[in-house]
Amino acid sequence: MSTRSGNLVDSIRRSIVRRVSLSIIVTVLAIGTVAMAAIICWHYQRQYDDFESSTSNVTNAYSSAIAGAMWHLDTSQLNLLADGIQQQESVSYVRINDRGALNIERGIRPYHRDIQTSDLLYNGTPIGQLEIAFNRESVFSTTIQTILPSLIALLVGLSLFGIILVVILQRVVSSRIQSLALEVRDRLENNRFEPLSLQPSSSHDEIDSLIRTFNKLSERILDELQQKTVAQQQLSVVNLELEDRVKLRTYHLQETVTQLNQTLIDLNTTQSKLIEAEKLSALGGMIAAIGHEIETPLGLCLTVQSCLKNDVIALKRAMPSGAINQTQDAMAAVDESLAMLDRNLKRSAELMKGFKEVSAGQIGDDRQRISLLETIQEVVAVLTPKLRQTKHTINIDCASNLMLQGSATAISQVLTNLIMNSLTHGFHNIDEGEIRIQAGENHEWIILRYSDNGVGMSDETKQKIFEPLYTTLRGKGGTGLGMHLVYNIIRQRLKGDITLEESDVGVVFRMQIPKQKRRQAS
């Protein structure tokens, strides 16, 4: 409540009508004061002139009588004349003197400028002076008494004029300006910009012009706000579309980058595989060529060794028994040398056979459709005598209807080499090992997974597992050609792929073979 009262008092203090009213009142008072001062001065001057004229008349009326009394030295007559003059309304001081001892005064002597002095003449002869002063206070009081009603009427008229003018200003100016200010304040506080509810009057004055101007300004602001709102909405829509486009393009770009990275990785992987395949193929071809070139001399050596053995046997039979006893040591040395030669030549023949097989040239007809499960079971059946000597087991997980176009001999040779590697290398110092052969299909591919729970491989072995002539049993019967043969059969003959997967236990080989044989481009 106190805040509202303070705001009201402050509003009244700052009001234009208050300032205009004060200005009008001050102006009216100033005009009234000036008018009253002028009227007072005018009436005072008239009274002054009247009193002065009356004093002159008194002087003219009493001069001859006073001069006669003075000539005859009639003091009592002079006193009576002096009292008569002093009793006049306009006279406040009288003095009669003969410029000598005679001096008759009545009243209080004023300033010399208010005294009229005239010479007393008797028959033309100056005999003294008559001094008369009129009463200024009487002049002023008479003036006030004369103009007081006019002054009161003037003040009342000016006051009424000021009050009427203030009321007119309040009704014509202040109330309309205050209503205008309240509506404008209400729109500012409520953030509204519609035109004012005040209607211009028929007088078409400045306030009406202000109302019309404000309404036009409000309409223009409303139009601009609407345009701004529409523009903001359009901008928001455009921003959302741009954000969606940016997100979509960013997503596509990320997809493209991901595809490019994956393509690059695949290209690098393919390049590495191609280089490795070419290297292994070249090595395999070279080994196969070397085996082919050595096969003929080695065959002649085997023939010569066989003939030499037969000749030694025939020589022993033809020699007398005494001679045989004498040459027994030499014959024993020859037999030992022949036996050693026979073992090494057979070992060389086996190597040459392996060298020929590296080329994977003769692995049967690869155009027939075979059952993968039956092929796996046949391999296991062939290796059953070998498995019976151990406690190792082979578990097969393959659907009976899984078919592919290829060579059963090739599949058998691959699985045989893998199983023999597990028995020879993987289950070293392991009594009970497990081999798992799993097969499935993925679109146009057969996925064959071979794993065991053996000792696994070293990092060096993992890197060189498919290289020819690499073996961990060098000098113990290992040729280093088995896994290279497996690699060549899968890659070159079956047109598939084989990889060594990471495993915590044993080894895992993943083979991918096409269901249908691919035609080579002519």
For 178-229, the pLDDT digits (tens) are 777 777 777 777 777 667 666 676 666 777 777 778 778 777 887 888 888 8
| Rounded alpha-carbon distances, angstroms, from residue 373 to 275, 288, 400, 408, 416 | 33, 32, 6, 11, 15
Q: What is the pLDDT of residues 71-89, one digit of tens each?
A: 888 888 888 888 887 777 6
The pLDDT, as a whole number, for residue 159 is: 79
CATH architecture of the domain formed by 2-177: 2-Layer Sandwich (3.30)
How far apart are alpha carbons 492 and 7 in whole angstroms?
102
**pLDDT of amino acid 360:** 47
Q: Is 35 buried (19+), middle (13-18) or exposed (0-12) by CB count in 10 A?
A: middle
213 phi and psi angles, rounded to 5 deg: -65, -40
> Hey, where are the domains in the chain?
2-177, 194-359, 363-522
Does the model's pTM come out above 0.95?
Answer: no
pLDDT of residue 365: 58
For residues 29 and 474, give the distance between their C-alpha atoms in angstroms, rounded to a whole number. 137
Residue 15, pLDDT score: 64
- The residues of the chain scoring below 50 in pLDDT are 1, 4, 8, 358, 360-361, 521-522
Per-residue pLDDT tens over the stretch 17-75: 667 777 777 787 788 788 778 877 887 777 677 777 777 777 777 888 888 888 888 88
Report residue 438 as tokens.
Answer: 């799993």
Q: Which CATH superfamily is domain 363-522 in?
A: Histidine kinase-like ATPase, C-terminal domain (3.30.565.10)
* Distance, CA of 205 to CA of 223 (rounded, Å): 27
